[in-house]
């Protein structure tokens, strides 16, 4: 007697060919405009793969497809225990198919595993493809990941069993909600990652008490109110990144780095960069140095009536601050007693995936379009950073918001992440060409800034350098190279987690860990091999280090500013509230 016909067999048999089709489509996709990264980049030239290795790869792929097919048939037979003899596991950390609905139906179980098998085949094909250099290979890997993430069955209604179950259970209400969410996001111009109505800057974000005591076209300077009777004589001046809003360092009281620094007995000044509009689109790198840290450091010294201050920079804010200190050093000014750099690049030899698409062609395009004036918009920047973690920051919300009709929960960090900022075109073009492309800041005297040749080796202030182990924006090994560039004594500390979570790690919660090693003579991996792991946050270690550079104590200043730097408005100020 013949076996009963499986009604799903034709669909499954067709899907066995999907892997080959996906590969063909991907390599066709490379030549399309859609393949261009937000930052551009020259086309990738791909040679012909080795025929023998290609044939072996294809045979292995078809064999695995056959094994998967047979395993699914065996699993579906009457009396089977439900355990397949062949299973395609997801990549570590891939949560897209963790819901039980993907395994309860043999159809969707096959769709899930077939996709994972096809994705693995394409990744192996990318490794086989001959390209001109390592950078081109990494670009190819990046684009393959973008393509595969977009093609996942979890992103489409017809192939997502969670969508189908919710639609049936809600009698179509989830579909209606998903459409409504999509319409709202189209009007908003971006994917919603959190409940925007739950937060407001100045109401429950950026609430540390303070006063704007100075402003210019590019920044406002905030002086925070003291929380201790005695403070360090030398104030702390913080320069956050201009690519994002400063309140990542002042989210809410329980995770505010700014508040913590004030609680440790510091008079804290902070640069709040302007979210520039078209009328500020002519400003360049030198303007950001002069009107940013150089203006802030001078104001803090005058207000506190001291010869020296301590300074801290985060991400590109650290790059800007270090450049400003190079300018001061060339001018014979040693008014900064200590320097703290958080996840900062000074050597740009390895910039992670951001640097993959910055080449001569992309820089020339930026020079020609916005290099003399204009904006690199916050939307472009947000798209770039989201693409680095597309499954977490794009497709997760496509499936949740639009297919399932869900509304993302309130999360302060994701609200900040979506609060994007613009950059002046000349600033962005100079930054990408001279630092990311040419890596000139590490070369003594190569760059002229504010009328002087800059040599970071002349910055003699002792430095506390923090990198984070899983940082995908500032690779920690590259951040470690700053120990070779700065002229003063350096302390390098490696935090756990990534670019943001590794920095915003409140001491009170005692989470994660960090690695310390006073000896920075070895290379990065050698340093880590002999480093000591310490439980908890690096914040406490930094606070103890900073106390060594306090310059003594004095009574806390209760009145912000002085006769020259008068109160403008309460913190957080209006600049941080401006939307892109």
CA distance 273 to 287: 12
Dihedrals φ, ψ of 545, to 5°?
-65, -45
Q: Is 242 a catalytic residue?
A: no
CA distance to 67, 136, 205, 272, 289, per residue, from 123 (Å) = 20, 15, 42, 43, 43
CA distance 395 to 34: 17
The bridge status of strand 230-232 relative to strand 219-224 is unpaired
The bridge status of strand 309-314 relative to strand 336-342 is parallel
SS (H, E, C) 407-421: CCCCCHHHHHHHCCC
Dihedrals φ, ψ of 308, to 5°?
-135, 150
| Residue 493, beta-bridge partner list | 466, 516
Q: DSSP string of 172-223?
A: THHHHHHHHHHHHHHHHTS---S-GGG--BTTTBS-S-EEEEEE-SSEEEEE
Place of tokens 């991996």: 525
Q: State how far Cα 173 lies from the chain centre.
A: 35
Dihedrals φ, ψ of 106, to 5°?
-60, -30
Q: DSSP string of 198-209?
A: G--BTTTBS-S-
Q: Name the H helices within 432-569.
A: 476-480, 524-529, 538-547
The bridge status of strand 532-535 relative to strand 448-449 is unpaired
CA distance 483 to 129: 37
Q: Are 477 and 527 in contact (CB under 8 A)?
A: no
Dump strand ranges (E) for 397-503. Answer: 423-424, 448-449, 452-453, 463-468, 490-495
Q: Name the H helices within 353-451.
A: 360-369, 378-388, 390, 396-397, 412-418, 425-431
CA distance 27 to 126: 9
Buried b (16+ CB within 10 A) or exposed e, 314-327: bbbbbbbbbbbbbb
Instruction: Name the residue among 495, 491, 486 with its Cα closest to residue 519.
Output: 491
Q: Are 503 and 519 in contact (CB under 8 A)?
A: no
CA distance 22 to 117: 11
CA distance 287 to 123: 44
Which entry of 242, 315, 363, 450 is annotated as an active-site residue? Answer: 315
Give every CB contact of residue 356 below 8 A, 6+ residues apart in sequence: 37, 41, 135, 138, 139, 142
Which residues are catalytic, by number? 315
């Amino acid at each position: 007697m013949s076996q009963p016909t499986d009604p799903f067999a034709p669909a499954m048999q067709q899907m066995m060919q999907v892997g080959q089709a996906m590969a063909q489509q991907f390599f066709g996709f490379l030549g399309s405009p859609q393949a261009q990264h937000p930052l551009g980049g020259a086309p990738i030239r791909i040679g012909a793969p080795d025929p023998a290795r290609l044939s072996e790869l294809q045979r292995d792929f078809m064999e695995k497809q056959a094994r998967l097919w047979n395993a699914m048939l065996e699993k579906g037979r009457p009396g089977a225990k439900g355990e397949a003899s062949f299973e395609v596991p997801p990549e570590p950390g891939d949560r897209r198919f963790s819901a039980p609905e993907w395994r309860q139906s043999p159809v969707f179980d096959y769709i899930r595993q077939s996709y994972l098998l096809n994705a693995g085949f394409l990744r192996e094909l990318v490794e086989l493809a001959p390209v001109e250099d390592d950078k081109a290979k990494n670009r190819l890997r990046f684009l393959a990941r973008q393509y595969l993430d977009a093609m996942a069955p979890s992103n489409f209604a017809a192939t997502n069993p969670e969508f189908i179950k919710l639609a049936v259970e809600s009698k179509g209400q989830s579909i209606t909600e998903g459409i409504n969410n999509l319409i709202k996001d189209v009007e908003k111009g971006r994917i919603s990652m959190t409940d925007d109505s739950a937060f407001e800057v100045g109401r429950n974000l950026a609430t540390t008490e303070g006063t704007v005591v100075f402003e210019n076209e590019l920044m406002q300077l905030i002086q925070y109110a003291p929380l201790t009777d005695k403070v360090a004589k030398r104030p702390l001046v913080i320069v956050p990144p201009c690519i994002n809003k400063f309140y990542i360092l002042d989210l809410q009281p329980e995770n505010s780095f700014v508040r913590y620094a004030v609680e440790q007995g510091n008079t804290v000044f902070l640069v709040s960069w302007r979210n520039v509009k078209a009328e500020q689109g002519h400003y360049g790198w030198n303007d950001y140095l002069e009107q940013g840290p150089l203006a802030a450091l001078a104001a803090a010294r005058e207000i506190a009536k001291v010869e020296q201050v301590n300074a801290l920079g985060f991400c590109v804010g650290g790059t800007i601050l270090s450049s400003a200190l190079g300018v001061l050093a060339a001018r014979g000014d040693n008014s900064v007693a200590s320097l703290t750099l958080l996840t900062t690049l000074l050597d740009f030899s390895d910039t992670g995936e951001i640097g993959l698409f910055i080449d001569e062609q992309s820089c020339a395009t930026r020079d020609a379009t916005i290099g003399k004036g204009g904006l690199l918009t916050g939307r472009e920047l947000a798209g770039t950073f989201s693409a680095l973690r597309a499954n977490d920051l794009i497709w997760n919300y496509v499936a949740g918001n639009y297919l399932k009709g869900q509304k993302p929960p309130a999360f302060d960090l994701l609200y900040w992440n979506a609060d994007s900022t613009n950059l002046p075109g000349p600033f962005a073009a100079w930054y990408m060409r001279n630092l990311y492309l040419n890596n000139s800041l590490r070369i003594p005297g190569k760059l002229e800034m504010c009328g002087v040749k800059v040599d970071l080796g002349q910055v003699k202030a002792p430095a506390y350098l923090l990198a984070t182990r899983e940082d995908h924006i500032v690779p920690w090994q590259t951040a470690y190279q700053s120990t070779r560039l700065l002229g003063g004594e350096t302390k390098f500390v490696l935090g756990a987690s990534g670019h943001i979570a590794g920095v915003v790690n409140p001491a009170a919660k005692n989470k994660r860990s960090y690695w310390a090693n006073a000896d920075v003579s070895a290379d990065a991996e050698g340093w880590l091999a002999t480093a000591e792991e310490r439980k908890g946050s690096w914040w406490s270690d930094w606070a103890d280090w900073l106390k060594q550079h306090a310059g003594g104590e004095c009574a806390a200043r209760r009145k912000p500013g002085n006769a020259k730097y008068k109160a403008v408005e309460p913190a957080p100020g209006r600049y941080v509230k401006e939307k892109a």
